[in-house]
Amino acid sequence: MRHTKLLSGRNLLLLALLWTILLTVLSLISFKKMPAIKIPGEDKTAHFVFYFVLTLVWYIALVKIYKNKYLKYIIAVAVIIYGIIIEMLQGLTNYRQEDFNDVLANTGGTLLALLFIFLLNLKNYLKKE
């Protein structure tokens, strides 16, 4: 039965690592040869969603491994720092640019995920009582 679980602890950790690698690659490659389709707010929405998912996937992957009541906050801070570092690295390339608004969108996605986690934990806590 353990071998048939699609989202086992090991698979969740692998998913979190793969999502982080994918996000890193997408953040640092050049899109100059890609056709430009401009949709207002699309870039910031993508940042928001990607970092929301990044925060959630790391929390889900680590929550059963580490029984730490501060885990959600540690992950949120780590994801925000990761987003800032990625933006700084983009500024070092000659084909990408750093954007403070991207940092804000990343942080917004992370904070919404933190709120979502907090509400889920509160709901589970209230069920126990």
58 within a domain of the structure (yes/no): yes
2 within a domain of the structure (yes/no): no
> Mean pLDDT throughout 18-24?
96
Kindly give, in sequence order, each residue whose CB lies less than 8 Å from that of residue 51, ignoring residues fewer than 6 positions away.
Answer: 79, 83, 105, 106, 107, 108, 109, 110, 113
Number of domains composing the chain: 1
107 within a domain of the structure (yes/no): yes
Domain that holds residue 76: 7-28+44-128
pLDDT tens digit string along 69-116? 899 999 999 999 999 999 999 999 988 889 999 999 999 999 999 999
What integer pLDDT is reported at residue 8 of this predicted model? 73
39 within a domain of the structure (yes/no): no
98 within a domain of the structure (yes/no): yes
> Mean pLDDT throughout 59-64?
92
1 within a domain of the structure (yes/no): no
Q: Is the pLDDT of residue 3 over 60?
A: no
